[in-house]
């Protein structure tokens, strides 16, 4: 993703991939309106690719969380390692985002962000490498700050004015995001030598915008508008347009300014609302902008990969780029978690999976994960190829058409709001999200369990075996909460007596 995909197109016109014969078998066919798209895998056995971006040499430049930066040839699938960064601290995170300078002939710079250990403390740093002779050398730290192994974002892009834009996560301390003295939970802006631009909102500070939780998608459209996608907590994943000096609200405002507390905060601080917010959450990751002619149905859209929902969202924008007018879903749960996307000058879309990360979904990782897939318009020429390839016709799914009518109500609530952490089978993720199967809270009294789910665990002591916090679910209504409590007690605690909406209402009224 990132501006790299678009920016480099001018350098590479002489060798766009349109006339090249790709050898990859077509694994799936997706029909979007009148266009048929083919899906092929171009490389497997990657180790959690975080960034894929199109280079001026028509190669896909790729970071893997273990510290590897490589170039992948989309035609041959050949991978050439440019550097293996050795001081990456790989716990949950590691090497994350990367941006290539849009004018690499003049400025042969590659900017990367990763976590490392400075003494005993985890730091997140932005490092500039110099590219020459098929290698990245001369690392120079441009900026760093104390970090964490979760919630670090991140994404880096280069603006058309040559400035570095770096989106950072809140480091799992929500209050960081509103503290403009801290660099976590922000969009930061720097010159390419790491100095602070004179026209930043606050003199001497890299902070360009504040109030973010976990931004993982960032891209400019051709008109220079900057979009960001970020993870909400239990509700409200967001896509925002980033403007100089604006505050995007986390943690006081989640999604739109609609609750009484949020309205009060907005009155005092002026919060910028998102273009779009998702509840239940989808876990949005990398994002790119589609402005090519090749696939007309994708034009003027943000392409957004998701982890939890494991799909590719096409967010079509209005002409001004200020509103999402439609949302389509491609690749619905077919390749597992999707982390990043980039568009080639010829208009092909490349997507990378993230099934070897710390939180894989059911059935993943598959033996050859992770992979990069190519989505392209099928032309007459490709039909030959298709006739011999296994076919799997899939239609683009309209958003929110989840086929869950057959499931019990409590299971639907559980799938939408709980399974991303505690997993469909209730076993959780060792060391991070507790199992609900052996939980005394689940098999104990509803009058203790309900308030816990309403309030979450923020502020309370963490349970043994968990390293993060349970979000508050007070926004679910009494009926939904009663259903999910009934479901987890029956399914994971083997207690068959149901919980009623009246019991939830009572627990709520006790505060
Ligand atoms: C973002 C991840 C996340 C989501 C989503 C989530 N939980 Fe949790 N949950 C946690 C974490 C982390 C803990 C441990 C909290 C602690 O110990 O501080 C926890 C603890 C619990 C516990 C107590 C387990 C024990 O034995 O201590 C229950 C019960 C529970 N969650 C139920 C739910 C239900 C029901 C939902 C959906 C409505 C849900 N959780 C959604 C992360 C999550």
- Residue 401 in tokens: 């058409």
- How far away, in angstroms, is 439 Cα from ligand 1 center? 10
Q: Do 388 and 464 lie in a common domain?
A: no
Query: What is the sign of the dihedral through the CA atoms of 14, 342, 84 and 109?
Result: positive
Please say whether the beta carbons of 283 and 231 come within 8 A: yes
Which atom number of ligand 1 is nearest to the Cα of residue 464? 17
Q: Do 58 and 151 lie in a common domain?
A: yes
CA distance 507 to 511: 7
Which atom number of ligand 1 is nearest to the Cα of residue 462? 18
Q: Do 419 and 363 lie in a common domain?
A: no
Which atom number of ligand 1 is nearest to the Cα of residue 234? 5
Full domain range(s) for residue 424? 409-510
Report the CATH number at residue 274: 2.120.10.30
- How far away, in angstroms, is 250 Cα from ligand 1 center? 21
Q: Do 220 and 109 lie in a common domain?
A: yes
Q: Do 338 and 483 lie in a common domain?
A: no
340 within a domain of the structure (yes/no): yes
404 within a domain of the structure (yes/no): no
33 within a domain of the structure (yes/no): yes
End of a domain among 398, 427, 459?
398
Residues with CB under 6 A from ligand 1: 234, 417-418, 420-422, 433-434, 436, 439-442, 449, 453, 457, 462-463, 466, 468-471, 473, 484, 488
The pick from 414, 415, 421 for probing ligand 1's pocket by mutation, whose C-beta has the most ligand atoms within 8 angstroms, reads 421
386 within a domain of the structure (yes/no): yes
List the one residue out of 438, 451, 447 whose CA is nearest residue 492: 438
Q: Do 492 and 352 lie in a common domain?
A: no
Q: Do 313 and 426 lie in a common domain?
A: no
Measuring from atom 18 of ligand 1, which residue has the nearest CA? 462
pLDDT at res. 272? 98
Measuring from atom 20 of ligand 1, which residue has the nearest CA? 470
Please say whether the beta carbons of 265 and 247 come within 8 A: no
pLDDT at res. 451? 94
Please say whether the beta carbons of 238 and 218 come within 8 A: no
258 within a domain of the structure (yes/no): yes
The pick from 236, 237, 358, 434 for probing ligand 1's pocket by mutation, whose C-beta has the most ligand atoms within 8 angstroms, reads 434
CA distance 415 to 67: 33
List the one residue out of 206, 155, 166 whose CA is nearest residue 342: 155
Please say whether the beta carbons of 202 and 188 come within 8 A: no
CA distance 450 to 18: 58
Q: What is the pTM of this model?
A: 0.88
437 within a domain of the structure (yes/no): yes
CA distance 97 to 158: 12
Q: Do 256 and 378 lie in a common domain?
A: yes
pLDDT at res. 332? 87
CA distance 117 to 385: 49
Domain count, the chain: 2
Polymer length in residues for the chain? 511
pLDDT at res. 386? 62
pLDDT at res. 34? 83
Report the CATH number at residue 495: 1.10.760.10
From first to last of its 511 residues, what are the pLDDT tens digits of the chain? 554 444 333 333 334 444 567 888 888 888 888 888 999 999 999 999 999 999 999 999 999 999 999 999 999 999 999 999 999 999 989 999 999 999 999 999 999 999 999 999 999 999 999 999 999 999 999 999 999 989 998 999 999 999 999 999 999 999 999 999 999 999 999 999 999 999 999 999 999 999 999 999 999 999 999 999 999 999 999 999 999 999 999 999 999 999 999 999 999 999 999 999 999 999 999 999 999 999 999 999 999 999 999 999 999 999 999 999 999 999 988 999 999 999 999 999 999 999 999 999 889 999 999 999 999 998 877 665 666 655 655 666 554 444 555 678 899 999 999 998 999 999 998 888 999 998 999 999 999 999 999 999 875 555 555 667 889 999 999 999 999 999 999 999 999 899 999 999 999 998 6
Measuring from atom 25 of ligand 1, which residue has the nearest CA? 439
End of a domain among 342, 367, 398?
398
Q: Do 153 and 216 lie in a common domain?
A: yes
List the one residue out of 399, 397, 393 whose CA is nearest residue 38: 393
CA distance 194 to 480: 50
Query: What is the sign of the dihedral through the CA atoms of 31, 36, 41 and 47?
Result: negative
- How far away, in angstroms, is 428 Cα from ligand 1 center? 9
325 within a domain of the structure (yes/no): yes
- Residue 480 in tokens: 């939904």
Measuring from atom 40 of ligand 1, which residue has the nearest CA? 418
Q: Do 462 and 361 lie in a common domain?
A: no
pLDDT at res. 15? 40
CA atoms within 13 A on the CB side of 239: 33
178 within a domain of the structure (yes/no): yes
pLDDT at res. 385? 61
pLDDT at res. 384? 53
Q: For the chain, give percent helix, strand, coil, nearest 5.
A: 20, 35, 50
The pick from 470, 474, 483 for probing ligand 1's pocket by mutation, whose C-beta has the most ligand atoms within 8 angstroms, reads 470
End of a domain among 329, 363, 398?
398
Q: Do 482 and 375 lie in a common domain?
A: no
pLDDT at res. 390? 57
Q: Do 288 and 215 lie in a common domain?
A: yes
């Amino acid at each position: 993703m990132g501006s790299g995909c678009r920016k480099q197109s001018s350098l590479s016109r002489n060798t766009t991939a349109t006339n090249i014969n790709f050898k990859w078998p077509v694994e799936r066919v997706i029909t979007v309106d009148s266009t048929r798209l083919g899906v092929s895998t171009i490389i497997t056995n990657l180790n959690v690719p975080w960034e894929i971006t199109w280079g001026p040499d028509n190669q896909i430049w790729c970071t893997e969380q273990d510290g590897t930066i490589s170039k992948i040839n989309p035609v041959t699938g050949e991978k050439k390692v440019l550097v293996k960064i050795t001081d990456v601290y790989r716990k949950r995170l590691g090497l994350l985002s990367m941006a290539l300078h849009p004018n690499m002939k003049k400025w042969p710079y590659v900017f990367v962000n990763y976590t490392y250990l400075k003494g005993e403390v985890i730091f997140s740093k932005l490092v500039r490498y110099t590219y020459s002779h098929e290698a990245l050398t001369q690392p120079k730290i441009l900026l760093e700050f104390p970090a964490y192994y979760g919630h670090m974002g991140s994404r880096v892009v280069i603006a058309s004015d040559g400035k570095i834009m770096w989106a950072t996560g809140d480091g799992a301390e929500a209050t960081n995001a509103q503290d403009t003295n801290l660099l976590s939970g922000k969009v930061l802006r720097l010159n390419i030598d790491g100095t602070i631009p004179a026209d930043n909102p606050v003199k001497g500070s890299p902070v360009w915008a504040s109030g973010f939780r976990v931004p993982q998608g960032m891209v400019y459209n051709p008109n220079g508008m900057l979009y960001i996608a970020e993870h909400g907590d239990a509700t409200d994943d967001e896509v925002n347009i980033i403007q100089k000096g604006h505050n995007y609200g986390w943690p006081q405002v989640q999604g739109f300014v609609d609750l009484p507390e949020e309205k009060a905060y907005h009155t005092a601080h002026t919060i910028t609302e998102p273009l779009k917010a998702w509840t239940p959450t989808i876990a949005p990751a990398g994002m790119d902008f589609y402005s090519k002619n090749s696939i007309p149905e994708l034009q003027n859209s943000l392409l957004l990969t998701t982890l939890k929902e494991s799909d590719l969202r096409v967010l079509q924008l209005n002409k001004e780029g200020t509103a999402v007018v439609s949302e389509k879903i491609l690749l619905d749960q077919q390749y597992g978690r999707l982390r990043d996307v980039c568009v080639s000058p010829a208009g092909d879309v490349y997507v990378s999976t993230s099934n070897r990360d710390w939180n894989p979904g059911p059935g993943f990782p598959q033996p050859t994960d992770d992979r990069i897939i190519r989505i392209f318009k099928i032309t007459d020429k490709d039909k030959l190829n298709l006739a011999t390839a296994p076919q799997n016709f899939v239609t683009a799914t309209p958003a929110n058409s989840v086929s869950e009518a057959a499931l019990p109500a409590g299971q639907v609530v559980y799938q939408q709001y709980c399974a991303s952490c505690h997993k469909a089978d209730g076993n959780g993720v060792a060391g991070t999200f507790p199992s609900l199967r052996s939980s005394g809270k689940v098999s104990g009294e509803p009058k203790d369990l309900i308030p816990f789910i309403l309030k979450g665990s923020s502020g309370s002591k963490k349970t043994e075996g968990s390293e993060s916090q349970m979000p508050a679910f007070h926004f679910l209504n009494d009926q939904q909460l009663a259903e999910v409590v009934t479901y987890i007690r029956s399914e994971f605690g083997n207690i068959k007596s149901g919980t009623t909406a009246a019991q939830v209402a009572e627990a709520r009224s006790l505060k």
